[in-house]
Amino acid sequence: MEVTSKFNPIKKSNQFIAVLLLTVFFSSCATVLGGPITAHQKTKPLPGEQERDVRIVALVADIILFWPSAVVDFATGAIYKPKQAK
């Protein structure tokens, strides 16, 4: 005779871990804390143009906390410093 229960602690913990991992993965430092993303950050420089500067603190935080989040920052352009107003 098998006893079944509606509350399965292993299933609940697996769901919690999955949600936690997704939250960490999609919350990359520069995307969340870097402010609005400008067109300069999104646009890849043409040949001969100056390269975009990387936010070093955000990159190091991404690598230390959860390295796949660096991919999100580079994909969104949030990892790059905004262009300075002249």
Q: What mean pLDDT comes out for the span 39-49?
A: 89
- Phi first, then psi, for residue 7 (nearest 5°) are -95, 110
pLDDT digits (tens, 9 = 90+) for 7-33: 677 777 888 888 877 766 666 677 777
Please give the radius of gyration of the chain, using alpha carbons only, rounded to the nearest integer: 20
The whole-number pLDDT of residue 54 equals 92
Judge if pTM exceeds 0.85: no
